[in-house]
Amino acid sequence: MSTQATITKNGPIKIEGDFKVLDASGAAFTNAEGKPVYLCRCGLSSNKPFCDGSHSKQGFQSEVKAV
Tens-digit pLDDT profile for residues 6-54: 999 999 999 999 999 999 999 999 887 789 999 999 999 999 999 999 9
State the sign of the Cα–Cα–Cα–Cα dihedral 43, 11, 57, 34.
Answer: negative
Give the pTM: 0.89
For residue 38, the model assigns a pLDDT of 97
Give me the domains of the chain, ranges plus CATH numbers: 1-67 (3.40.5.90)
pLDDT at 4 over 80: yes
Name the CA radius of gyration of the chain, rounded.
13
For residue 24, the model assigns a pLDDT of 96
For residue 59, the model assigns a pLDDT of 93
Q: How far apart are CA 11 and CA 47, in angstroms?
A: 15
Residues 6 and 13: beta-carbon distance below 8 Å: yes
